[in-house]
Each structure stands twice: as structure tokens, then as C-alpha cells.
Structure 1
Amino acid sequence: MNSMKIVLLLNFVLLISSCKENTAKKEDDFLEFDKLEYYYNDISEENVFNLYDSKNKEDSIHFQLITSIYPDELDSNFKQKLKQFGYKQKSLTQVKKDSIKNIFNALKCTDKKAYGCLPIYRDVLFLYKENKLKGIIKIALDCHQTYSIGINEKLEDLGLCSKEYKSLNKILR
């Protein structure tokens, strides 16, 4: 009987210690990259809705580019499409790049709040590893949404909570 209690006690201790370890675990190197490029478009919400209402085919393509989950695969020509529709490349300091990596590699959000708005992906990150495009992240800071392509783990909005979006806003703006 004593040996049974000892086995149960050991199992309980192992269970408790493994739970604590998992809940505190950081997603180390969730995003592995050695180069990051950042593109930004300061289009207003009003202009986005004008694109939606337009009968012009180019405007329709622009609307899809800035609001939808496009592209659906890594596309090396995607940067050219962004530039065609007014996105500008912006330089980020190494400190800001490291901060972005830390934000995406932080503990994953468990209390995500839903926002009922159209995502306008004004911010786009291109992630490279050894000069090869590994991922694209489109960010809609106002709606707290992300869309990623090429990222191994498919977490909704890459696991970001409101505080991470606020941090990203400070870094990118």
C-alpha cells in the first residue's frame, strides 16, 4: 500500500511540474530569420472603401491586395505588386528588428479579443533566412489581425494579443 501511495505521489509531482513547464514555455525561434524587410502603405480607410466601390479593375486588384489573404503562397514578385500599389520600403534599425522577433516569439495569446472590422494590411514584413524568402507577414494593426505565408506554425494571428499589437504599432510607426 505504501508503494502505491509513493507511485501516485510521484505521478502527481511529475504531472504538476510538467504543466508548469509547458504553460511558461516561450516559443523560442518561432520565426527564424536573419534578414527582415518592411513595407508600409498609409492609405486611409476611406480610400480603401473607394477602391471597393470602384469599377476599375486595377482598383479591385489593389483592394484585394490590401484587405485579403493574398498571396496564398510565397511569391517573390509580391514586393513588386506592393510597390505598384503605393507601398514604400522603410528601414528598421537592428533594435527594432530584434524587438519584432521578440514579439512574435513571445508566449502565445490565450485571451484573444475579436475585432469586427475589415483588416487593412498596411504593414508587410518579408522574412529571409540565408537570403532566401522564408515568410511574409501582413499586419492590420487597427483590427489586430495578421496573415502569414510560409510560417511553419499556423496560429491565428500568429498568437498575438492586444499588447503585442500595441508594441508593434510603436515599433513600426
Structure 2
Amino acid sequence: MIKRYSIILLVFLLISCKSNEEKAFFDFDSVEYYSLNKNKEKEIIENNRTGIKDSILNNILYSEFPDKLDNDVFYKTINFNGFSKFQLSQKDIEYLKNDVFLEKFSLKVFELNKACAPEYRDILVFKKNNEISGIAKICLSCGQFYLVSSKKEIKTENFGKEDDYKSLEKLFNTYKKDKN
């Protein structure tokens, strides 16, 4: 009998903690999605193989760059150098705000292949009142991410559950499909 009540109490505590703990990683009312074009990706691979490297583009794709939200070089590069830009719908913005980019309580974090080197081909730029409030670079292949936020105290440890990546991939593919 005591075991049953203990389990019910534990479940109740977990649910109440979850609702109190969920905070958005970013304050935003619009989101721009940038996707690396296939032709540009092939060009980068070929150039890297032959030793010709675009250091800015390589930093965007392979490293934790930018480290600040106000990096003009980053924005100029993603806007003019082989990325397609999409404005997310209000429905998709609400989905990201309420279901994906939250500090979440999780008993189990899904681990993809963290041993691979990330290739950040998918980038989200979050804006609030037309001012950039965050950047999320996502590698769907190995499940790694890089976030820069105007919020100083965000905890991203529980981001990246299997469902997060699957839903992001599905969302990204709908925008890419509309382009073709």
C-alpha cells in the first residue's frame, strides 16, 4: 500500500517539476531557417579535399561559431553563400516554442553518435521584434547541436532527445520540399 502511494507521489512530483522547470531557450516571435544547398555542400567537400578552404564557411559548418549573436560575418555568410533561407510559419514557430526548444526534465536523454564530427547544415535564427535572440545549429546526422542565446542561464543538457531530432528533420524537410 505504501509503495503504491509512493509511486503516485513520485509521478505527481515529476509532473509538477516538469511544468515549473520548462523555460524557453530563446525569446522569439519569428524564426528563419537556413539549409545548406546540396551543390554548395558538394563544392565544400571537393574544396576541402583539394586544400581550398573557406574558413568562415568551415567555421559555420564544423565548429562552435559564432560565439555571439551580433556576428555580422556569420549572417552575411549564411545569407549569401550557399544557404537557402526559409521563414517559418506561425504554426511551426509555436511548435518550436512549446515543444522543442525548452529546458525539459527528462529521465532519459537519447544519445546519437556523439563520436562523429558535427556538420551543421541546418541553422535556425530566432528573432524577437526583429532582433536576433538566438541561434541553433543542428547536425541531424550525429545528433549534436550548438546554441547561442540572449538568455544567460539556459540549460541545454536535455535537448536532443530522439523525438526532438526526428521532429526537426521532418519540419526541415517540409521547407526544403517546398523549394524543389
Q: TM-score category by the smaller chain?
A: 0.7 to 0.9
Structure-to-structure mapping, 1:19-168, within 5 angstroms: 21-22=16-17, 25=20, 27-43=22-38, 47-58=43-54, 60-77=55-72, 78-102=74-98, 103-105=100-102, 107-109=104-106, 110-115=108-113, 116-152=115-151, 153-156=154-157, 159-168=159-168
Query: Greater relative contact order: 1 or 2 (C-alpha under 8 angstroms, separation 6 or more)?
Result: 2
Which structure 2 residue ranges, 5 or more long, are not aligned? 1-5, 174-180
Task: Select the structure of larger CA radius of gyration.
Answer: 1
- Following the alignment from structure 1 to structure 2, what is the Cα–Cα distance between the partners of residues 108 and 51? 43
Amino acid across the alignment from 2:144: Q
CA 70–164 in structure 1, closer or farther in 2 if over 3 Å, else same: same
Cα displacement (A) at 1:46 = 5.7
CA 25–43 in structure 1, closer or farther in 2 if over 3 Å, else same: farther
Q: Deviations over 1:124-167 (max 9, x none)?
A: 111112222111111111211110112531424x6120111001
TM-score by length of 2: 0.72
Give the root-mean-square deviation of aligned CA atoms: 2.8
Which structure 1 residue ranges, 5 or more long, are not aligned? 1-11
TM-score by length of 1: 0.75
